[in-house]
Amino acid sequence: MAQVFHRSLNSISRFGIVGGAILAAGVALGLAAAYRSSLVTQVNISRAQPVPFSHKHHVNGLGLDCRYCHTSVESSPFAGIPPTQICMNCHSQIWSDSPMLEPVRKSFRTGEPLHWTRINDVPDFVYFNHSIHVHKGIGCETCHGRVDRMPLTWKANPLYMKWCLACHRAPEEYVRPREEVFTMGWKPAEDQDLLGARLVKEYHIQKLTHCSVCHR
């Protein structure tokens, strides 16, 4: 009786078994790596905006406070995207005929807000409140990175749950004095271990890690 398979199938199947295992592991690792990379998270990737607004210029160059534009950050869940009128406070006077700012003037004339491309967005099933974080001594920089160095804005952190939990599980590693919340590039004057422990106590910071803190 003739053989059903050619003898080369012996080697093929051996390689197939080992290769299949390696391939499966490779695919799993590849997917995991991709999910953590900028490809998916968009971290460190600046995106086009209707007006090429530079935080670097406005914060670092001009010294504007975060709250000048993001007015509701201390009192509301949402930090607030400035209305065109805030831009026009200055730009009705300076660069008032720059072609780059034409969309801003158009928005001012027509009353239709600028359609900014959102960079930092948590999913809708996550409840996030800016004001409580600001009041408990979490700096803007902790989540948003060195905004004062961003010519165009990019995401500084992936906003994955694991990343949120890193701080919620150990707030003492990230907390800073309230008066330094809006400072960019703040460095603790003393050991963060000591400072953090003291501020956690002083600000009554709890390690809130149960599900319904964020998923309400």
Partner 1 sequence: MVVGKSESFTATLQEAPLIEPGHSYASMTEKISDIVLTKPHPRSWAIVFLTGLSLLMLMLYAVLYLFIRGIGIWGINVPVGWGFAIINLVWWIGIGHAGTLISAILLLLHQDWRTSINRFAEAMTLFAVACAGLFPILHTGRPWLVYYLIPYPDTLGLWPQFRSPLVWDVFAISTYASVSLLFWYVGLLPDLATMRDRAKNRFARVIYGLFALGWRGSARHWHRHQVASLLLAGLATPLVVSVHTVVSWDFAMSIIPGWHATIFPPYFVAGAIYAGFAMVMTLVIPIRHWYGLQDFITIRHIENMAKITLATGLIVCYGYLMEAFMAWYSANPYEQFMMHNRQFGPYAPVYWTLIFCNGVVIQALWFKKVRTNVKILFGISLIVGVGMWLERYIIVVTSLHRDFLPSSWGMYAGTFWDYATFLGSIGLFLTLLMLFVRFVPMISGFELRELWWKLNRSAKDEASDKAAA
Instruction: Quote the CA–CA distance of 146 and 188 in Å, as a whole number.
Output: 16
Which 141-160 residues touch partner 1, going by CB under 8 A? 158, 160
Give the list of residues 6+ apart from residue 131 with CB closer than 8 angstroms, or none: 72, 73, 74, 75, 76, 77
Closer residue to partner 1 in complex, CB, 71/120: 120
155 pairs with which residues across the strands? 43
Computed on alpha carbons and rounded to an integer, the radius of gyration of the chain in Å comes to 25
Residue 80 as a binder of partner 1 (CB under 8 A): the answer is no
Residue 165 as a binder of partner 1 (CB under 8 A): the answer is yes
Residue 32 as a binder of partner 1 (CB under 8 A): the answer is yes
CB of 107 to partner 1, least distance (A): 37
Residue 35 as a binder of partner 1 (CB under 8 A): the answer is yes
- Residue type at 64? L
Closer residue to partner 1 in complex, CB, 42/131: 42
196 backbone dihedrals φ, ψ, rounded to 5°: -60, -50
Cβ count near 83 (within 10 Å):
14
Residue 166 as a binder of partner 1 (CB under 8 A): the answer is yes
Closer residue to partner 1 in complex, CB, 17/22: 17
Instruction: Quote the CA–CA distance of 43 and 156 in Å, as a whole number.
Output: 5
Q: Which segment (5-13, 76-84, 117-125, 182-190) binds partner 1 by CB under 8 A? A: 5-13
> Angle formed by the axes of helices 84-91 and 102-110, to 10°?
120
Q: Which segment (30-38, 94-102, 134-142, 191-199) binds partner 1 by CB under 8 A? A: 30-38
* Chosen residue from 5, 179, 190, 212 binding partner 1 by CB under 8 A: 5
Contact residues for partner 1, defined by CB under 8 A:
1, 4-5, 9-10, 13, 32, 35-36, 158, 160-166
